[in-house]
Amino acid sequence: MFSGISIRVRRIQTIANLSTLQAPSLTSFLTDSCGLSPAAAAVAASKVTFISKSQKVTAKRNPVSVLTFFESHGLTPSQIAKLFSTHPRFLLSNPARTFQPKIDFYLAAGFSPSTLTKLISADAYILLVSLNNRIIPCFDFLKAILHTNEDVVAAVKRSTWMLRVDLKNKMAPNIETLRSIGVPIVCIAKLVKIYPSALMQSSSRFGESVERVLQIGLNPSDAMFIRALNSLSTISVATLERKLEIYKNFGLSEDKILSCLKINPMIINLSEENIRKKFRFYMEKLIWKPEFVFSSPVLLMLSLEKRIAPRFSVYEILVFKNLLKEKSIVPRYFFLNEEEFFRRYLIRFLEECPEILEAYKGKRGH
């Protein structure tokens, strides 16, 4: 049970003749007791066959017992509505036999009750997969790499789908590839914990991704290697070549581009339009050359709409009113965190130039 979770007692609609439950009565149950809209309830009810020899409605296997089970384990009305809308066959489960052993395992492994309810609502498949054949082997596999339950829980919270696949067959060969080229185990563990999807490629596709990172010139022992591997594994060769061509069209040499990728490989994951828009802004508004922008590649990762353009509007006003000593803008101006930026450039000049706050908020869409 979820200790510490208050149990909300709900007045549940009585469903008569459970042994012959029909879709119309289930639809009413889903709307009146579970909070689904009439349309969503009708769709959910249509997906379930209630007169079935293999799934006969009984005292232990009926919608009321399933609803009561999830309520008693802390799921909110909106979470329950979502659960039954996406997985209506849950209503024919025996929760004590099907769900409780898995919940007990997750709690013992280190999931907090509140975290577990969120995960169930977001990905109910963590209650559907086999405990002995899938969940426990996945935890054992991950723990052998990450060492602590805490890190395994953190990894699963990021990517619950890892509990639904055979990690030994899908992930282990790719991990062995990384070991064979000298990637430190601590970096492999970080990859598993933070970027696990990179390790779920086929062995051949993964080998190609590794080769691309090596061609950039990153050393396998470099901590940046796994970040580059994650970035390059998400795009095809054709997409990579297209994006490299965009950078080249701004006058950047291939050596310069590769050097920049070593520093911040995520610039290759920006959309093509995003790359063009940011370069044009920096070149036209700030009169910065592409080489200068590339010398601080984080500039390409900042939001144009939420950070770059709003801050530039503040800079323009302050310069126009001769309130800034520094007349040339530098990259660090955009790197300041929000609190520091407010203190230095908004609050400081608010009395002399009250319009800067509205200008800033207006550009951000507030």
SS (H, E, C) 157-201: HHCHHHHHCCHHHHCHHHHHHHHHCCCCHHHHHHHHHHCHHHHHC
Location of structure tokens 């044009």: 280
Neighbours of 302 (CB within 10 A): 14
Residue 313 identity: S
Q: Would you put residue 201 in left (φ > 0), alpha (ψ -120 to 50) or beta?
A: beta
* pLDDT score at 12: 39
Residue 13: the pLDDT is 43
Calpha distance 308→280 (Å, rounded): 12
* Mean per-residue pLDDT, 324-335: 88
* pLDDT over 80 at 34, yes or no: no
- Is the pLDDT assigned to residue 88 strictly greater than 90? no
User: Stretch 292-310: mean pLDDT, rounded?
Assistant: 94
Token couple for 148: 């602590």
In the predicted model, is pLDDT for residue 142 greater than 80? yes
Residue 51: pLDDT band (50, 70, 90) is: very low
Encode pLDDT of 91-117 as tens digits.
878 899 999 999 999 999 999 999 999
- State the Rg of the chain over Cα: 27
Instruction: Assess whether pLDDT exceeds 60 at residue 11.
Output: no
Share the mean pLDDT of the chain.
86
Average pLDDT over residues 221-229: 94
**At 35, is the pLDDT very low, low, confident or very high (cuts 50, 70, 90)?**
confident
pLDDT given at position 8:
35
Give how far the C-alpha of residue 345 lies from the chain's centroid of Cα atoms, to the nearest Å: 33
CB-CB contact of 43 with 36 (8 Å): no
CA atoms within 13 A on the CB side of 175: 23
pLDDT(269) > 90: yes
Percentage of the chain surpassing pLDDT 90? 63
Return the closest-CA partner of residue 73 out of 133, 115, 34.
Answer: 115
Buried b (16+ CB within 10 A) or exposed e, 114-143: eebbbbbbebbebbbeeeeebbebbbebbe
Residue 54: pLDDT band (50, 70, 90) is very low
Answer yes or no: are the C-beta atoms of 152 and 143 closer than 8 Å. yes
Annotate 273-342 with DSSP letters as a single string: HHHHHHHHHHHHHS---HHHHHTSTHHHHS-IIIIIHHHHHHHHHHHHTT--S--S--THHHHS-HHHHI
Which comes out higher in pLDDT, residue 329 or 81? 329
Q: Are 226 and 191 in contact (CB under 8 A)?
A: yes
Contact 26, 91 (CB under 8 A): yes
